[in-house]
Structure 1
């Protein structure tokens, strides 16, 4: 904000002009003091909507306004404040759209999310024997929450504009979470009768996920393509050759290059911390990261549960529907990112162009429904494409029984998209709590198999949809 704008906002308004302005019928004491408190906002506001957004952001809801000031809602109070305080707006410099995003970054992220899927069929020799699926699921259930927590800590420091502190946080956070992943694999090896190669692969999966988190927070996504190249090319060639036994060991070593390169790259991009960077993070930072970590855990549980042997929808062998939905769901994260930015960009423009609270809420909800529809259509197209390829090359034949499973994962993808969208608007507690409740219900109804999964995922989607429509129609969520 320029100095000219500040001087315009700080012009003196006599206190009596605010306190002695004629009131409305039924008005209670305190509006004048509120006008003084929000004088700068009221003077610069071109319409009552800006004042209403500031009041909501400060914690005043309709009920508080009715009880304390005697007005029907926040917007009615904002109209009165806008009438009382002389407007003296200063035209600010044109603000750059903070949500502008091209197609390149989401497409790149889609590749980053999907390319590791090539590693699993190429690593079947490593994953033979009892306990291998359990190892992979434990790795996923540990890696997702700690990587989400690490990402929150990194982005929080990055948002403060301190590059050295961000690198310090990511470096020590990365080393600490890698130690957690290694400990999880060691404990799993003691509890489950699994081969050492499966445990090594599970640890490599977690190591890659954590290194990818560090590189993506620092905007070094292109380095991830270099990290993924050896394992992806080796896996692709191995599969095209029909998985000959003589090449199993070289392919295993090529797959191992990816997490090791990820480790090296993570250490390289966080170099140059220097003195004076402070502590990596305080206890308060770890507490603040808990919602992100718990969301990662709940989301991983919802995705993984249907394929756990003997449980849920995957209790009778290979879950074809889950296999056909896993890759498209990973690919859809690129579409989810683009659509999320599309929604935030449209809402940001709407906030600047609309002067009526109710009109803003109505149009914001329509934009939200359009965004959800875009994501679901994109994910459905990806699932159809993967199903067609699977049908053509034959590794998994999608029969009629797979379609309800795919529908459950499609609903879960829509719910995850809305959860991520809510988190970008500072609503970080409700998404993990709702996901945890959905998983608890699915687990409780595990004897019903697919029906329980459908009920849990569709119910979660409907809940997030209703909740998002209720809260994202408020201007304060888009400031």
Structure 2
């Protein structure tokens, strides 16, 4: 869900001046004195600099100005005729040199420390990402059976198949709904969720049933409930109803005693069933605005634009599964818990990186200073996320029963996967979702085909994403969305 954090309504730029009209040809019969005997006719570039003064003064690099000129349709032919420069880049360099740098001060905070802005909401999202894991604790004994396929416990394959289908579908659906929200049409976002969420639940259920074999019907039924929950949670998270989702998940806290003691089977069924019913009811209520008909003739975002987000969900989801399975389910439990809980701090650090980039645009005066500052912020945010992930892994190992300490090799593999996830989310947030999805899919495919190459695949993916992030995000134009 975090890949869509940064979508917002498109901004507008000030209109560029129209090209100056040519002066009428002088009448040779009229004795008109030369209006400019010294040859000091005003340069039209001065008028353009005055009109664009605020934007040019705040620009960190001439490329920002060139992007503005080109986005307004100013062609090279027009630039040569009207301003005597060869192209938009030369014109932008002249404007950049003529206008003194003047970056506005960042707005004062509304209240509270700046570092805490949005932290509570992000931590809340991390909590609602992790709480559904208690449903597996409750249902575990009910799904027990003979050894399943691929050396996994019974029922694992249909559960994983349904979960991956839900991740792919709901990532793409979230992007489409967030795009409508960015256009200011909340009712259209609700309509997209109303149509897409039930379809995603049906798709996840169908895939889980298809993947089930003899003796795995209970797991397929649980996977159907899992798919239904993923659809409801997607609706509530996209529409900003995290607190309502948390309230719906509270019955799952009854699973905590199951970590130490056995619970009766009716209670094991009732608690997740109650949370599922509550989440679906709250989601249905949140979708009421989508029940009405949309405005006639209004076109929506292209469906193809959401496909890369679904592919990124597929790649990142498979990587998380590999982190959880590892050598055994016991050693991977702490890793999955840590990765799930870390999504809240990861989202907050993405916000901090975005905010720091905008602040640097307002306060720095050269492109070199901007590159150095953004690189430092990138290193600090990534390092902060990996520190949180490591701390959560150690805490989960201590608190979760019968979880062995991870070896240094498994810790390294987990941190590499965390690097891939965070950098992928960062690139997705800045519009480079296709590159992030491709790298994650290649790493996931390599680890699936050759599990022993997992650390190497994750390390290569982390290195590629780090280079891409450094190349793309040090450009000032990347931060002017």
TM-score, scaled relative to structure 1: 0.79
Per-residue Cα deviation, 1:306-342 (whole angstroms, up to 9, x for no partner): 556xxxx43xxx2443222110111100110111111
Aligned equivalent of 1:263: 280
Aligned equivalent of 2:56: 45
1:218 is the counterpart of 2:239 = yes
Aligned equivalent of 1:285: 302
- Per the TM alignment, residue 213 of structure 1 is displaced from its structure 2 partner at its CA by 1.1
Cα distance in 2 for residues equivalent to 1:137 and 1:206: 11
Q: Contact 1:100/1:345 (CA < 8 Å) preserved in 2?
A: no
Q: Contact 1:171/1:266 (CA < 8 Å) preserved in 2?
A: no
- Per the TM alignment, residue 249 of structure 1 is displaced from its structure 2 partner at its CA by 2.3
Q: Match for 2:376 among 366, 369, 385?
A: 366
1:461 is the counterpart of 2:462 = yes
Q: Contact 2:194/2:290 (CA < 8 Å) preserved in 1?
A: no
Cα 1:307–1:12, aligned 2, differ >3 Å: closer, same or farther? closer
Q: Contact 2:164/2:317 (CA < 8 Å) preserved in 1?
A: yes
Cα distance in 2 for residues equivalent to 1:325 and 1:338: 20
Cα 1:125–1:93, aligned 2, differ >3 Å: closer, same or farther? closer
Q: Contact 1:321/1:406 (CA < 8 Å) preserved in 2?
A: no
1:166 is the counterpart of 2:189 = yes
Cα distance in 2 for residues equivalent to 1:162 and 1:428: 23
Unaligned 5+ residue runs, structure 1?
Answer: 1-5, 18-31
Deviates more, 1:454-463 or 1:279-288: 279-288
Pairs within 5 Å for 1:38-77: 40-41=51-52, 44-46=55-57, 49=60, 51-56=62-67
Cα 1:342–1:369, aligned 2, differ >3 Å: closer, same or farther? same
- Per the TM alignment, residue 416 of structure 1 is displaced from its structure 2 partner at its CA by 0.7
Cα distance in 2 for residues equivalent to 1:256 and 1:153: 29
SS in 2 for 1:355: coil
- Per the TM alignment, residue 80 of structure 1 is displaced from its structure 2 partner at its CA by 1.7
Cα distance in 1 for residues equivalent to 2:372 and 2:207: 48
Aligned equivalent of 1:294: 311
Cα distance in 1 for residues equivalent to 2:140 and 2:281: 26
Aligned equivalent of 1:243: 262
Cα distance in 2 for residues equivalent to 1:374 and 1:355: 27
- Per the TM alignment, residue 146 of structure 1 is displaced from its structure 2 partner at its CA by 0.8
- Per the TM alignment, residue 100 of structure 1 is displaced from its structure 2 partner at its CA by 8.7
1:183 is the counterpart of 2:206 = yes
Cα distance in 2 for residues equivalent to 1:371 and 1:36: 43
Unaligned 5+ residue runs, structure 2?
Answer: 1-11, 24-42, 149-153
Cα distance in 1 for residues equivalent to 2:49 and 2:314: 41
Cα distance in 2 for residues equivalent to 1:102 and 1:284: 28
SS in 2 for 1:46: helix
1:80 is the counterpart of 2:100 = no
- Per the TM alignment, residue 437 of structure 1 is displaced from its structure 2 partner at its CA by 1.2
What is the total number of aligned residue pairs between the two structures?
A: 432
Per-residue Cα deviation, 1:187-246 (whole angstroms, up to 9, x for no partner): 123xx224332112112222222211110111110011111111x122113334x114xx
1:418 is the counterpart of 2:432 = no
- Per the TM alignment, residue 268 of structure 1 is displaced from its structure 2 partner at its CA by 0.7
- Per the TM alignment, residue 429 of structure 1 is displaced from its structure 2 partner at its CA by 0.6
- Per the TM alignment, residue 350 of structure 1 is displaced from its structure 2 partner at its CA by 0.3
Pairs within 5 Å for 1:97-112: 101-112=117-128
Cα 1:77–1:360, aligned 2, differ >3 Å: closer, same or farther? farther
Cα distance in 2 for residues equivalent to 1:12 and 1:184: 58
Cα distance in 2 for residues equivalent to 1:143 and 1:220: 20
- Per the TM alignment, residue 117 of structure 1 is displaced from its structure 2 partner at its CA by 1.9
